[in-house]
Amino acid sequence: MIPKINNYSPSFKAAQINIIATSDNHGNVHSMPLLMETIKNNQKDIFIKSEDKSTLNIFAINGDFFINPSKKGYLTKPDLTNGDIQHQFLKRIIKYVNEQAGKNSNFDTVFNIGNHDLDGGDKFLYKVIKNTDMKTLVTNVDIKNSPGIQKIIDKNPNVVTSLTYEIPDDKNPELKHKVLFLGVTIPSMQFYNPGLLKEMTFFDNCKKKDADLTKENLTNTIKAIKKEIKKFKNENPKGVVVLMAHTGGNISKMIIDKVPRIDIVLNGHDHKNITTIKGKSTINSLGKDNEIIKALNIKFNDNGDLESTDVNTLYSKTTVRDNLTINPIQIFLEESFNEDMKPIISLTDITGQKIELDYGEIIRYQNSYLANFLTSAVKLSLSKLCKDPNVIVGIQSSIIRGGLKDGSNNLDIMKIFDGVSEDLSNIQIGTVEGYELAGLVIENIKDNLRAPKRNTIIQWSDIQVNRTLISEILSGKSNKDLIDAIKIRDVETNDYQPLDLKKKYKIAIGEKYLLKDDILWASKIRDRFKPLNKTYDQLLRSYLASDDVNYQLKVTQKSLEQRIL
């Protein structure tokens, strides 16, 4: 039977589960109070009859709550890292959601690991697990080859490969309704965090991008899921299976194809906000950056069968902001980070009009004024440091996670370059031939065209790329050469000129890009690059604080040009 997706109803059957699910928060502490206020404002619709003995209440955190844990830069608390700060918020948020469920409720928090939760390596995650009141799922962790997880499991019963809850029936004391929770993480750790996991191994760990993963690449992950479900269903044939999958929707669908006995998928990683039905399963994608939270109400009937699944999407932007003044998470934010919340940025165009450089998903595959501004700002700092105006800066757009506007504060600045681990964020500088630069650019565009939102584009300070032309050439709609799609800025005239295949160009790009063996040109040129011992964040801050800028930013026509056509 396919579970129904309905609007909420106050009717009550034999037993029920209230699940409030979030994913891909990406450490956005400044927007967490808004999300918590959204929960409070909708408390009655989320936690339906939450204190009844036949109701189970679950707060499901489906990965990437953390991001770049090793990074520092807070003004109020300069000695603390991103991870320290985000962990403080996590503990308070769990307490807050529990309070909304009610002091007499059957409540638990279930955490599934996301790739960014491992930006600080496995040791950071172990510290979080050991010091937070929540259950952590490790269904597709290879326990035998993960000595760190083995040690934790031996001492901490809250770290499990699967989690079974028992809910008493409201009428029949002999009847117990069962639900199984599993947690699966995208296995491409060698792609996302190469070299950072020392004592933790995922089944099917590989260097593949999301778009390249197939069912065959998930063999052992699927085997681990099947094993847990088979054991559960043998004992509880009517039991409900909930899979927390930090994998993206396409991989969640691959898993369901191989394991059809999954009732509900809480899907993260792809940042989408959709609910779909595949076979007998519902896939609930959970968005990103505290923009939404999904509330599920799962009902069993008197026969112990799953009767319905109601899904309600709550949008934090619709919350009345005036209520935040008394929200405890907002109070904690204001009291603990007062210096970081003060406006320090003035942002106007050259006429003095206020302007905003928005952050959005299009930065991954289209022209972006924000990316133009950031690459130019980093280049200016880098040119001063290297005393070379010809250096070209490339930034993988996936590491950009925040925008700028007039009145931006330090919390906003902290988010800008937050999409890459501090341990892999050192900028490398080196010289390449024109044909190598062309190969690098074209390879990136080809990957981006194949999966625009997952294989992110490189934004360049002084390269104009005709992405549309490359697409037309590859599809046979144009007879031009791929090289015709690339132009380089002439430093003296500021005009874009054809790329010279024989000329040498000095470029600066992030260490993580050069480490990736699945990128053909990265492996060919990496030996010629040397670490600058500076990060994009450090160079941007150097630009912002320089005497000739002093946080008074002016967006010129150069930043408003079209660099991706």
**pLDDT mean by block of 10 residues, the chain; 565 residues:** 42 81 94 93 93 95 95 94 95 96 95 95 92 95 92 88 94 90 94 89 90 92 96 94 95 93 94 88 93 94 87 84 81 92 93 90 93 96 91 94 94 93 91 95 95 91 96 94 95 90 94 87 92 94 94 91 95
Backbone angles phi, psi at 102, to 5 degrees: 115, 145
Best CA proximity match to 86, nearest among 64, 66, 68: 66
Backbone angles phi, psi at 53, to 5 degrees: -65, -25
Q: What is the CA radius of gyration of the chain?
A: 25
Q: In the structure encoding, which two tokens stand for residue 338, read together?
A: 């007062």
Amino acid at 163: L
Distance CA 258, CA 260 (A): 6
Distances (CA, A) of 145 to 199, 216, 289: 8, 21, 33
Question: 342-555 maps to which CATH number?
Answer: 3.90.780.10
Q: Residue 470 burial (CB < 10 Å; 0-12/13-18/19+)?
A: buried
How wide is the angle at C-alpha 270 spanned by C-alphas 402 and 412, nearest 5°?
A: 10
* Residues 262, 255 contacting (CB under 8 angstroms): yes
Question: 15-332 maps to which CATH number?
Answer: 3.60.21.10
Residues 6+ apart with CB under 8 A from 528: 430, 431, 432
Structure confidence at residue 542 (pLDDT): 95
Strand-pair category, 404-405 with 356-357: antiparallel
* Residues 39, 59 contacting (CB under 8 angstroms): no
Neighbouring-strand partners of residue 246: 185, 268
Distance CA 225, CA 228 (A): 5
Neighbouring-strand partners of residue 430: 507
Q: In the structure encoding, which two tokens stand for residue 253, read together?
A: 């669908």
DSSP 107: E
Structure confidence at residue 8 (pLDDT): 39
Domain residue spans in the chain? 15-332, 342-555
- Global confidence as pTM: 0.89
Distance CA 335, CA 391 (A): 43
Angle between helices 147-155 and 121-130 (to 10 degrees): 10
Structure confidence at residue 9 (pLDDT): 41
Residue with tokens 């902001």, as numbered in its chain: 321
Structure confidence at residue 382 (pLDDT): 94
Best CA proximity match to 16, nearest among 259, 437, 285, 304: 304
Neighbouring-strand partners of residue 531: 428
Structure confidence at residue 322 (pLDDT): 66
Structure confidence at residue 132 (pLDDT): 94
Q: In the structure encoding, which two tokens stand for residue 464, read together?
A: 């104009």
Strand-pair category, 292-300 with 306-315: antiparallel
Q: In the structure encoding, which two tokens stand for residue 140, read together?
A: 């597709």
